[in-house]
Amino acid sequence: MPRLTTPVVPAGTLNRAPQPELPVGDLLLRPWSPADAGALLTAYADPAIQRWHARTVESRKEAEDLIAQYNHGWRAETSASWAITDPAVLGRVAFRIIDLDEGTAEIAYWVTAAARGRGAASRAVIALSQWALDDLGLHRLDLQHAVANTASCRVADKAGYAYEATLRSAVLHADGWHDMHLHARIAGDATASASSSPNATTSTPPSQPNSTPASPP
């Protein structure tokens, strides 16, 4: 059917150029490399990361295949994934879904035990969000996390993602169905805002990761 609107971001905007590296202070967001397979396998062996994900990675071959999927997403313009590094791999920040026509994406993230407490997740989310809204030209970025993952809720708040809703029994994990918080950031929003997140003042044990449980491994 004919469109009544023009695409927010034209097709080809992503894959006509290599995926960029994004410096964030002492961190670097860079595309994943096959050489990162060992680091990815180690990260997904962490029970604190497994807790918030529906799938895991159990072999180097699976890690290599997953990295290939990450890089294919950029070429297909349907997703984009960066390793958070210092230069060791500290985590992942990604747009697990991108819709250039609609100008939307869903951001996801996790960090390893070595990166927790350093603000690595929030800094990575802020940097990638600014790039997507200011440079790429997306209009809306969604962020979902399990209601029980209060560390992830704090990351969303610090990165300027306003709380919008609670999605009841929305994502299935190994321990059952999880309610999810939906946050969003719109082009023109401030980088960070006064807290509107329901869990913003709730303390979280440091063993819990900053991760988005709805994201695939």
Using alpha carbons, list the distances in angstroms from residue 47 to 14, 89, 208: 34, 18, 9
- Note down the domain range covering 29: 22-186
Burial class for 90, CB neighbours closer than 10 Å (0-12, 13-18, 19+): buried
Q: For the chain, what's the residue count? A: 217
Give CA–CA dist 108/56, Å, rounded: 15
197 domain-assigned = no
Residue with tokens 């997740």: 121
The CATH number given to whatever domain includes residue 112 is 3.40.630.30
211 domain-assigned = no
14 domain-assigned = no
215 domain-assigned = no
Per-residue pLDDT of the chain (217 residues; tens, 9 = 90+): 888 999 999 999 999 999 999 999 999 999 999 999 999 999 999 999 999 998 899 999 999 999 999 999 999 999 999 999 999 999 999 999 999 999 999 999 999 999 999 999 999 999 999 999 999 999 999 999 999 999 999 999 999 999 999 999 999 999 999 999 999 999 999 765 434 455 543 333 333 344 443 343 4
Cβ atoms within 10 A of the Cβ of 56, count? 14
34 domain-assigned = yes
125 domain-assigned = yes
8 Å CB contact between 43 and 50 = no
Could you give the number of structural domains in the chain? 1
16 domain-assigned = no
89 domain-assigned = yes
Q: How many helices (H) and strands (E) does the chain have?
A: 5, 8
